[in-house]
Chain A
Amino acid sequence: MTELLAIVLRTLVVSGTATAMAVLVGFPLGYAIARRRFRGRTLLLGFINTGMGMPPVAVGLVVWVMLVRSGPFGGLDLIYTRTAMVLAQFLIATPIVVGFTTASVQALPPRLADLLFVLGAGRLRTMWILAREAKLGLAAAIMAAFGAIVSEVGASMIVGGNLERSTRVLTTAIVTETSRGEIERALVLGLILLGLTFIVSLALTVVQQRR
């Protein structure tokens, strides 16, 4: 029971941290891409949109190659740690957050930022008001990013190693229990994962739909 609780908490911490980091990077980046015109913008958006559907196992493999002892960042000694898992999940979540943010900011009335400028809003205030106006899309960005990384198994397995009491999270635990033939335990873990995703999504939906 204690280990089960630890797995749930670990899952929340790893995916929650990765989502928070993706939001910190993805919101400003998506906002900037939506508001500015620059050379290569369409190409960049093409990469981001591709990234939104990137297979987690492929991301995991790239991170593993970078962090493995013989890799370019092997000296950091991060492979098979929760930090490595956060990093991989951050890379999966960021394009999703950027893509949703860009789309939702672009969907705002084109002159809204101009209006805020002439009404006297500074740059930060403008960003904050636009974010509030785009909250439907931004909340969807967080839900989609969290949902994608909390349910992925490939990247966590490769860079985390599924080590008991260290890097095992709900998805890798489900794989382990299934391979052991512990189908009931796997099902319980699956239900917990579903419940967790539902609670997080519901909380964000409440924020999203609040007037």
Chain B
Amino acid sequence: MEVSLEGVQVERDGRVLLDVPTLLLRGGRTTAILGPNGSGKTTLLRVIAGLDRPGTGRVRIGGLPAHASRVAYVFQEQVFLRRSVRDNLELGLRLRGLDPAERRVRMEEAARLLGITHLMVRRADRLSGGEGRRVSLARALCLRAPLVLLDEPLEGLDRPTYSRLLHELPQLLAAFDATRILVTHNPGEAVRLAEDLVVLVDGRVHASGEKRDVATNPRVPEVAEALGYFVVMRDGRRIAIPPDALRPGSGGEEFLMEVDEVVDLVASTEIAGRIGEVRVHVEVPAGSETPAQGDRIHLHADRFFELS
């Protein structure tokens, strides 16, 4: 079920939060809305869900006006009634008028898939971050909505929980027989979890399409920076370098870096500094010969993209 936006503009206190002349999100796929903090990602998701009304324009889901009954929404914050996990899962199913037998089947299936069967009688508002996130996903899953919206579903989790859920999410997202739209500021998450990318900066869409196309053709600095690339000047040209493509040594496209800091990360060493005015960092294996602060070293990029 595709989602389309036409002429959508959201203003608050005289400031334009979102300005999307046209955007089409393809049905049956996972699209990541990627952008820095304050870029309007959550506003876009809320407009699609019908939680915020745009000042102008329209949103259509599967060709029909957006309506809450066709959406499942996973909030960034943990939002639960002060009741059991079961009651929280059942609430949406009750509100959508499902009979008790159907409610039970859906809840059991979602709980099994998310591994929360043992949590069903616990108070939902007293769960840990990871458990709460699973319950939020289960609540969305059992609605079986044609459109699932996830707002930073991995934000604020501790490292092991984050890592576990990050690896489980693709399979879980596939369990939603729906169009999935995911908001994140983390390019790694976006590329791992989504098939399509939309890059949003300052409320405007700067790129959208299949993730490989967007990631290998960032075109403008806003997109490159949202993807986490270093944007540096080179002989009057602006180029974007993916962090994993930048290494110490010679060969390929070479740059001179002035070293500001050398950080021992135990398993590796991070060398941070500047190419011109742009802050960059590279990692080298622990035990490698490392420069001192103030040294100038050569870096080379085995992959980079020309920007306009």
Contact = CB atoms under 8 A, between A and B. Distances in A.
A122 B51 CA distance: 13
Nearest to A118: B73
Interface residues of B, number: 21
B95 A117 contact: no
A112 B79 CA distance: 6
B75 A114 contact: yes
Interface string B30-66: 0000000000000000100111000000000000000
Nearest to A120: B95
Interface in A49-70: none
Interface in A116-161: 116-121, 125, 129, 133
Contact of A115 (B46, B69, B79, B82): B79
A25 B69 CA distance: 32
B278 interface: no
A72 interface: no
A115 B95 contact: no
Interface string B76-96: 011111100000000110011
A36 interface: no
A46 B68 CA distance: 36
Contacts of A119: 68, 91-92, 95-96, 143
A121 B79 contact: no
Given A114-B51, A125-B95, A120 B79 contact: no
Contact of B69 (A111, A114, A120, A133): A120
Contact of A118 (B49, B78, B80, B82): B49
Contact of A109 (B50, B71, B80, B143): B80
B192 to A, nearest CB: 26
A197 to B, nearest CB: 28
Contacts of A111: 75, 77, 79
A121 B95 CA distance: 6
Contact of B68 (A110, A112, A118, A133): A118
Nearest to A125: B95
Contacts of B51: 114, 117-118
A131 B73 CA distance: 23
Contact of B81 (A110, A114, A125, A133): A133
Contacts of A112: 79, 81
A116 B91 CA distance: 9
Nearest to A136: B82
B72 A129 contact: no
Nearest to B92: A119
A116 B75 CA distance: 12
A114 B95 CA distance: 14
A9 to B, nearest CB: 38
Contacts of B75: 111, 114-115
Given A114-B51, A133-B82, A120 B77 contact: no
Interface string B1-23: 00000000000000000000000
A56 B78 CA distance: 43
Interface string B196-221: 00000000000000000000000000
B129 to A, nearest CB: 15
Interface-centre pick from B49, B50, B51, B95 (highest chain A CB count, 10 A): B95
Contacts of B50: 117-118
Nearest to A110: B77
Interface-centre pick from A115, A118, A125, A133 (highest chain B CB count, 10 A): A118
Given A114-B75, A125-B95, A120 B80 contact: no
A175 to B, nearest CB: 44
Interface string A18-52: 00000000000000000000000000000000000
Interface in A62-93: none
Interface string A92-120: 00000000000000000111101111111
26 contacts: A109-B78, A110-B77, A112-B79, A112-B81, A114-B46, A114-B79, A115-B73, A115-B79, A116-B95, A117-B50, A118-B49, A118-B50, A118-B71, A118-B72, A119-B91, A119-B95, A119-B96, A119-B143, A120-B68, A120-B69, A120-B92, A120-B95, A120-B96, A121-B95, A125-B95, A133-B81
Given A114-B73, A118-B73, A120-B69, 15 more contacts: A109-B79, A110-B77, A112-B81, A114-B51, A114-B75, A114-B79, A115-B73, A118-B49, A119-B96, A120-B68, A120-B92, A125-B95, A129-B81, A133-B81, A133-B82
Interface of A: 109-112, 114-121, 125, 129, 133
